[in-house]
Structure 1
């Protein structure tokens, strides 16, 4: 629910509305001041009697948000959100941010060499994946946890870059945070695993939420809302939620077997119309072939992606995990060209972010 206050509504009138929402219904309010004051109501707002709110002095109108992903909806938050990683890397808004590194930590030598290569190409955030959720038990699934986290810390120290790592097991969350992992990634297989999403709502560490194998847009954004809402199983708002959510598009399983996933470039502007959250795209896992990564990166950036995540490996031919889709030094050319495309489209006034939402109405 969104409550629009009338122009000139006093601070006392705004506070009275908030007090009624919080005291009578036990819900939480978020106030946005932009010309006029807008109050966003968090929680299960179906319990609210609209008439008891509209009768209050200073209230202009009450609007029910129909989307089930309220916190992730652009109706709830008009402007693009920006998530800051490691105190210095901004994702979202007009920024174009690159995540890159090996698909998995295999050894200290491989990881450090791949990390240094990734830094040389110009990535902003370093992939340092300890756990790997794999389809087959015979595929490489990563090193023992503590050893992997030690190598991830060494990769971070060697490059000075913040790190992102995929969390599969809830029991490992504290270990990830204590090891200095800067961004927690939720992989495609875990994108609708609500216990994991609920636990991530209790921290403020940035989270990259991948697009699930068969998720439609509503399901994907609802998963983001799990992390952001801070709502427990009984519908109570028990915490502030984690606002530092970054979406990452990879496409879905389809009948096509020549690419790894079916990636629709049209999803990029659509997601940005529906949600204020920063949006990355993953050309490595969607294409599944390094020969496709470069062109797919440009397509995603031209479509409005605010960042790209791809695999960079020092020796793809010997990689234990997804070597076919990993790039090497050519990632530097890809990043430079993608930045030129991004800058050119901004220069000619292609709508992005909140301006896309305005133009679509």
Structure 2
């Protein structure tokens, strides 16, 4: 069961409802979105029904949700959500391109990739400072030094940062630099990390686990939402199948299915799903045509020397071709390409940990 608060609901209205639910032996989880607040109830529904919640001040509606993911379900939020990352919208009428290096290696490499991304129409910069790798001998990222590089590049280009966090203990540090936290495929069911990310006060990009069902993916999003954060973007990045011709198998049907089941925006990662540079453009076209709210791609100024996933990184004419496809297809579908905000020099500089 969920309580949908009215737009003019006050903090005292919310506090009163939480106390009321507690007195009935239940638990109340307050989740705040851009346009409204939702309170998820856990406990005996029959006892909640005796409280006459609809008559309480500040309450717009009370809904019984049949889906196991109460807060991210489309059942209680008929209009699809728009998540805003430092002024950049994802979802709704917008098509959002996110691009950058898979891993932050040097200031020069990161700035070069960011300039390539912005020239292609990207509104957000992706870049990994922490890299969970299959092999313990592979490049694991620069850690906080990489976060500092990303912050400097943000100041230079105006592109807000999307970066991965891999440990619950690092969430506060990463959130002090990042504009959006990414939960990668290997951590989709790291529940402590999901909860910590939900409490961080930053939008979250949640990638689908490589062997996860769509319901498991949405349940992972529910962990984040239950901690008070509905600013979640789902990312389909390919699932593990028997096929060896591609790195992963892009489940293009997951886009409309997830959008039907959940109000959250859904984007696609054609780089990690295909694993090859020549597959990124056709998979991007497929994602946009299927109704995805954006794509997130790898770019690198020198893919042949990349420390992580060079074979899938775009460079040169590939980037311009992607830019043309994203722009033209967005217009055909009646969507507007999101643009990066103007950020004053120095606005993104962080001194945490220095």
Between the aligned partners of 2:242 and 2:298, the Cα distance in structure 1 is: 24
CA apart distance, 1:342: 2.6
Which of residues 167, 180, 183 in structure 1 aligns to 2:180?
183
CA apart distance, 1:106: 1.2
Counterpart position of 1:251:
238
Verify: 1:194 aligned to 2:191, yes or no: yes
TM (norm. structure 1) is 0.80
CA apart distance, 1:139: 1.5
CA apart distance, 1:83: 1.1
Provide closer, same or farther for how the CA distance between residues 137 and 16 of structure 1 changes in structure 2, counting only shifts above 3 A. Answer: closer
Between the aligned partners of 1:39 and 1:85, the Cα distance in structure 2 is: 19
Of structures 1 and 2, the one scoring higher in RCO (CA 8 A, sep 6+) is 2
CA apart distance, 1:174: 2.3
CA apart distance, 1:273: 0.4
Between the aligned partners of 2:4 and 2:229, the Cα distance in structure 1 is: 25
CA apart distance, 1:251: 2.0
Counterpart position of 2:144:
146
Counterpart position of 1:209:
206
Between the aligned partners of 2:29 and 2:189, the Cα distance in structure 1 is: 26
Which of residues 308, 327, 331 in structure 2 aligns to 1:343?
331
**What do you get for the CA RMSD once the two structures are aligned?**
3.0
Between the aligned partners of 1:338 and 1:274, the Cα distance in structure 2 is: 25
Superimposed CA distance per residue, residues 69-107 of structure 1 (whole angstroms, 9 cap, x where no aligned partner): 111100021111111111x10111111001100000112
Does the 8 A contact of 2:129 with 2:144 survive in 1?
no
Does the 8 A contact of 1:21 with 1:29 survive in 2?
no
Which of residues 270, 291, 306 in structure 2 aligns to 1:319?
306
Provide closer, same or farther for how the CA distance between residues 344 and 200 of structure 1 changes in structure 2, counting only shifts above 3 A. Answer: same
Counterpart position of 1:129:
128
CA apart distance, 1:39: 10
TM (norm. structure 2) is 0.82
Provide closer, same or farther for how the CA distance between residues 128 and 52 of structure 1 changes in structure 2, counting only shifts above 3 A. Answer: same
Does the 8 A contact of 1:22 with 1:29 survive in 2?
no
Does the 8 A contact of 1:68 with 1:222 survive in 2?
yes
Verify: 1:334 aligned to 2:322, yes or no: yes
Superimposed CA distance per residue, residues 111-144 of structure 1 (whole angstroms, 9 cap, x where no aligned partner): 111111111111000012101110011211112x
CA apart distance, 1:274: 0.5
Provide closer, same or farther for how the CA distance between residues 337 and 115 of structure 1 changes in structure 2, counting only shifts above 3 A. Answer: same
Bigger radius of gyration among the two? 1
Which of residues 157, 171, 174 in structure 2 aligns to 1:173?
171
Does the 8 A contact of 2:28 with 2:42 survive in 1?
no
CA apart distance, 1:345: 2.6
Between the aligned partners of 1:105 and 1:18, the Cα distance in structure 2 is: 44
CA apart distance, 1:65: 1.6
Provide closer, same or farther for how the CA distance between residues 4 and 176 of structure 1 changes in structure 2, counting only shifts above 3 A. Answer: closer
CA apart distance, 1:296: 0.3
Q: Single out whichever of 299-308 and 18-27 deviates more from structure 2.
A: 18-27
Does the 8 A contact of 1:50 with 1:62 survive in 2?
no
Counterpart position of 1:272:
259
CA apart distance, 1:198: 0.9
Provide closer, same or farther for how the CA distance between residues 273 and 137 of structure 1 changes in structure 2, counting only shifts above 3 A. Answer: same
CA apart distance, 1:209: 0.3
1:84-163 aligned within 5 A: 84-86=84-86, 88-143=87-142, 145-163=143-161
> Structure 1 stretches (4+) deviating beyond 6 angstroms?
15-19, 29-32, 54-59
Superimposed CA distance per residue, residues 202-223 of structure 1 (whole angstroms, 9 cap, x where no aligned partner): 1220110001011101100000
Does the 8 A contact of 1:92 with 1:279 survive in 2?
yes
Between the aligned partners of 2:99 and 2:298, the Cα distance in structure 1 is: 6
Between the aligned partners of 1:109 and 1:306, the Cα distance in structure 2 is: 30
